[in-house]
Structure 1
């Protein structure tokens, strides 16, 4: 994956995400979203629910450039990953409209950013 940076993901978020079977494409999308969230909130992941409380929009090309399969020529992988994350109650009301991905974080996923941590964090590289 082209992301050439690090970000910190709170332990409760990772625990929430680990509780379920996810395809590799869904994990790519999660990785891209966590990376984007971290960049937006400048490492203060507890701010994610307040900054992304409603529907959020981002360019599909940004997600694809960051974590998409190198050989992908369209957004089919992204559609599949969005559908999976919506069915698993991670993203809510997710849609791809042309070149834009619209989504809302599920309440459970957003709440995991606010859950007190046991002090451990994961640094993703």
Structure 2
């Protein structure tokens, strides 16, 4: 499920021949989604959690540090899922320890995520 506004913003940014660093919150989200699409969870996190976004969004939450920690964990897990969706046809096999290392997740979380995807017939 994808919102129409987000989809239009994403397509608009992909049509631009020269893309500079994101300035608005919307551009940060689009840049983060592009990084996540490529499996680059660290870049995605840096677009979502940075000084500009902290001042405008995350610092407004109660227990802002816990919110940022939760976001980081969720970004890592969803980047793993996105990576598997995107590149599953490229690999014959890949070890869970390699994925755990790539996404800096515990082996149990990687195992759980992959198992859920297999059960839901997403892989």
Instruction: Name the TM-score, length of structure 2 as normaliser.
Output: 0.30
Q: Quick one: higher RCO (CA 8 Å, sep 6+), 1 or 2? A: 1
User: Which protein has the larger Cα radius of gyration, Structure 1 or Structure 2?
Assistant: 2
Q: Which has the higher strand share?
A: 1
TM-score normalised to structure 1 length: 0.30
